[in-house]
Amino acid sequence: MSSRSPGLGRAIMMLAAALVSATASDPEDWGPAGVQYGRLGETVILTCPGAASGMAVSWHRPGARALPPGSVTGQRELLLPQADPSAEGDYSCRDRHLDGRPLGSVTLRLGHPPIRPTVTCRAADYENFSCSWSPGRASHLPTRYLTSYRKKTLTGANSGGRLLWSGEVGVCEQEHPEVRRCVVCGSEFWSEYRVNVTELNPLGASARLLDVSMQTILRPDPPEALRVESVPGAPHRLRVSWAYPASWPRQPHFLLRFRLQYRPLLHRSWSMVEPAGLEELITDAVAGLPHAVRVSARDFLDAGNWSDWSPEAWGTPSPSEGEGKRGEGPSSQSPQPRQGTTESSSPELLGPDLPQPHAEVFPHDCLSPPFPLHPERRAPLEQAAVVVSVGVFAFVVLAAVGLVLLLLWLRLRCSGKGEAQKPGLLVPVLWVKVPSRSQIL
């Protein structure tokens, strides 16, 4: 997206390194006391916790297990070359000269240092956005994440021509430590943000910087309350209605548009229409067959991407009046609409390794107040507000154009009066009677 600032990246990495150093300096922050962490496949050195410098000790494993192959015992150290998972576990050390007096124990855990996580961001509305991530690889060690963001503001360029960015820094709030997701509340729809997700474990840290634009990551939640109803006496018609997703703030200037798909139960291909409001009348349904219907939503101005498809709803067209009279009885009743399973479309912005999100759940301070209008009246009022806004804008533009033309006309008229009349410019018209040929002769 936007250009990255190397200075900002270095500053964030230095901050992450300082936090890692502070955390790694206290092993108890990563687990119980006496646990030592090492890298898989590399040499690990264990130190006897109760032995003084230069003291000769012996190392043992509980349960009379032998030390890993290739182990080398020093004065108070135990060297494990190319440690593999079999080397994990408890180790104890004893004094060689004082009748095997116990000196302490160490628990070894092996894993990998972190690599940059995979991060993706999504906005379910135009006021908040969330970012999810997955680790670059499994570290097999305790892991934490530091998440922050910066609203990008262009401040100029350096001597090398690189753009310089600055802006306010905030914390991307994590709902729970075990959930790899954070939320930025109160974001600005026309702004760009730089998100930092840093993965930390006892062996190090790695950060991922991601530039996001609200207009690009906007992806609403699927529409809700989808209903399919038959039309009495119309064997080829179904009436479909739905509601805005609960996560979309109800404002007359930020609307959603929809697309609707439907198909008979025995068909695999979908038919699609784009309704104008919150309901649609299907006029080409197959008589007597149940139909599956689903709806998707997108920003009214085509910002971002289409939402996932809503859970399917089912309905069967009503039989005609003649068929209803001939087929009275239980067999002639159409089944009630029922909810089906969800079929999600492939998202454009999510990475292949990340789970597909469903309805966004924002903290309470991120949610907007409920829309006060009645659901059935919401769509016409919103459309009327848009029409009025467009009309006012068009009137202002036309008035401005008319004023400019009037000023130009007045200026040309004034300049024409000030100039002297050029000779011969206006030639008088004289009517001359020409004699006929007979008179001339």
Residue 209 lies in a domain: yes
Burial (Cβ within 10 Å: 0-12, 13-18, ≥19) of residue 15 = middle
Mean per-residue pLDDT for 48-55? 82
Average pLDDT, the chain: 75
Residue 435 lies in a domain: no
Residues 65 and 150 in one domain: no
pLDDT band of 314, cuts 50, 70, 90: very high
Label residue 28 left, alpha or beta by phi (over 0 means left) and psi (-120 to 50 means alpha): alpha
Residues 288 and 351 in one domain: yes
Residue 429 lies in a domain: no
pLDDT above 90 covers what percent of the chain?
29
pLDDT band of 4, cuts 50, 70, 90: very low
Mean per-residue pLDDT for 43-65? 84
Among residues 165, 89, 366, 126, the alpha carbon closest in space to that of 251 is found at: 126
Report yes or no: 178 and 162 within 8 Å, Cβ to Cβ. no
Residue 398 lies in a domain: no
Token reading at 148: 């922050």
Identify the domain boundary among 109, 138, 169: 109
The per-residue pLDDT for 27 is: 47
The single-letter code of the amino acid at 271 is S
The per-residue pLDDT for 156 is: 59
Spatial distance between the Cα atoms of 154 and 152, rounded to a whole number of angstroms: 7
**In sequence order, which ranges of 243-328 are alpha helices (DSSP H)?**
321-326
Identify the domain boundary among 177, 193, 217: 217
The per-residue pLDDT for 97 is: 78
Q: Domain residues for 150? A: 114-217
Mean per-residue pLDDT for 4-26? 42
Residues 102 and 118 in one domain: no
Q: Which residues of 214-227 are buried (b: 16+ CB within 10 A; e: fewer)?
A: bbbbbbbbbbbebe
Residue 406 lies in a domain: no
Report yes or no: 336 and 312 within 8 Å, Cβ to Cβ. no
Tell me which of 121 and 66 has the higher pLDDT: 121
Mean per-residue pLDDT for 59-78? 84
- State the Cα angle at 201 between 196 and 202, rounded to 5°: 140
Q: How are the residues of the chain apportioned to helix, strand and coil, as percentages rounded to the nearest 5?
A: 20, 30, 45
Please give the backbone phi and psi of residue 72, each rounded to the nearest 5 degrees, phi first: -125, 125
Range with top average pLDDT, 179-188, 234-243, 399-408, 432-441 = 234-243
Report yes or no: 222 and 242 within 8 Å, Cβ to Cβ. no
Residues 158 and 187 in one domain: yes
Residue 102 lies in a domain: yes
The per-residue pLDDT for 75 is: 80
Q: Cα torsion for 92, 98, 99, 103, to the nearest 10°?
A: -20
Spatial distance between the Cα atoms of 183 and 130, rounded to a whole number of angstroms: 4
Is the predicted pLDDT of residue 22 greater than 50, yes or no?
no
- State the Cα angle at 40 between 36 and 43, rounded to 5°: 75
Is the predicted pLDDT of residue 397 greater than 70, yes or no?
yes
Q: In this structure, are strands 129-134 and 144-151 parallel, antiparallel, or unpaired?
A: unpaired
Among residues 183, 151, 184, the alpha carbon closest in space to that of 165 is found at: 151
- pTM, two decimals, is 0.59
Identify the domain boundary among 109, 132, 151: 109
Residues 246 and 124 in one domain: no
Token reading at 130: 């969330």
Spatial distance between the Cα atoms of 171 and 264, rounded to a whole number of angstroms: 49
Token reading at 383: 């459309």
pLDDT above 70 covers what percent of the chain?
68
Q: What's the number of domains the chain is made of?
A: 3
Tell me which of 436 and 240 has the higher pLDDT: 240
Residues 348 and 237 in one domain: yes
Give the tens place of pLDDT for each residue, 191-220.
Answer: 888 999 999 999 999 999 999 888 889 999
Residue 311 lies in a domain: yes
Label residue 338 left, alpha or beta by phi (over 0 means left) and psi (-120 to 50 means alpha): beta
Spatial distance between the Cα atoms of 330 and 253, rounded to a whole number of angstroms: 49
Spatial distance between the Cα atoms of 40 and 86, rounded to a whole number of angstroms: 10
Among residues 109, 71, 80, 78, the alpha carbon closest in space to that of 93 is found at: 78
Residue 51 lies in a domain: yes
Residues 105 and 143 in one domain: no
Is the predicted pLDDT of residue 435 greater than 80, yes or no?
no
Is the predicted pLDDT of residue 24 greater than 70, yes or no?
no
Residues 191 and 295 in one domain: no
Residues 204 and 189 in one domain: yes
Residues 192 and 68 in one domain: no
Is the predicted pLDDT of residue 163 greater than 90, yes or no?
no
Domain containing 123 — which CATH number?
2.60.40.10
Residues 197 and 242 in one domain: no
Report yes or no: 17 and 205 within 8 Å, Cβ to Cβ. yes
The per-residue pLDDT for 391 is: 75
The per-residue pLDDT for 168 is: 72
Cα of 208 vs its chain's centroid, Å: 16
DSSP for residue 202 = T
Is the predicted pLDDT of residue 333 greater than 60, yes or no?
no
Mean per-residue pLDDT for 224-236? 93
Cα of 143 vs its chain's centroid, Å: 24
pLDDT band of 169, cuts 50, 70, 90: confident
Give the tens place of pLDDT for each residue, 259-290.
Answer: 999 999 888 899 999 998 899 999 999 998 99
Token reading at 275: 């309704």
Residues 300 and 337 in one domain: yes
